[in-house]
Amino acid sequence: MKLILPKKFLKDYFEYLYYSILPEYTLWDKKVSIIVEPICSLKIDRMKIVDWKIIDEILNTSLQKSKIRNYIKDELDLSDLSDLEQVLFPLSKNVFELDDNPFLYPGERLKKLVYEILPYNPAISLDIDGICHFHPTNEAYFSDLDNQSLRKFANIMEKYNKKCILALIIARGDMYNYIQKAKESKSQFVGYMMNTVENIKFNAKIFYSKKRKEKHVDILLE
């Protein structure tokens, strides 16, 4: 089984990733980079991604992508050191991933979607056949936490007549290269990411609403 992934989707996804990287931030008296992984809903028809939407835009319809870096910086500036130590995952000595968390931006996005948004706006579920997220490493495997969260998500989506949910991981490990491009411009960053697709690793699985074993899915770029 193969999932057809349009390059237009990939380009849009990397554009959002550009806004989700704070390439230079002073933290603990040193310059560091902060990455927030974009989470994206997928509409799939005959195993092809036909539409997509950033979860943040579903949660906040007034969201402006161009201001995401400001949101990240403002939250970091106002946060207690103890909170930051809990939510910033070190990828290297000067690159950190800002995980979903209950303390500050980006919040608990999937949890908010299923418990606060969908019950009052069930029509949104019609466009959610899958979920995509990013790993800023060479590893595109589903972690134990990924598996637990996506199994639970698939079970919840059964209430909205979804028998299964497809989960896609996009991973890139050349973070020093793309962070450098993120310091330059959006066009430089997106151009670099699209021109070096050989550095991308993909992984996709179908998670079922019942207690069925997940099924691996191959990726075909189109």
Indicate the pTM of the whole model: 0.94
The three-point CA angle 52-46-196 to 5° equals: 55
72 is a domain residue:
no
Q: Which two tokens stand for residue 138?
A: 């060479």
200 is a domain residue:
yes
**Residue ranges, the chain, pLDDT below 50:** none
Print the domain residue range for 158.
2-19+36-62+106-221
pLDDT value at residue 105: 87
pLDDT value at residue 28: 83
Indicate which CATH number applies to the domain containing 127: 3.40.140
Total domains in the fold of the chain? 1
pLDDT value at residue 104: 86
114 is a domain residue:
yes
139 is a domain residue:
yes
80 is a domain residue:
no
67 is a domain residue:
no
97 is a domain residue:
no
- Spell out the alpha helix ranges (H) of the chain: 7-19, 55-59, 68-78, 81-87, 109-112, 144-157, 175-182, 186-195
93 is a domain residue:
no
pLDDT value at residue 210: 80
pLDDT value at residue 2: 95
| C-alpha–C-alpha distance, residues 9 and 170, integer Å | 12
pLDDT value at residue 84: 87
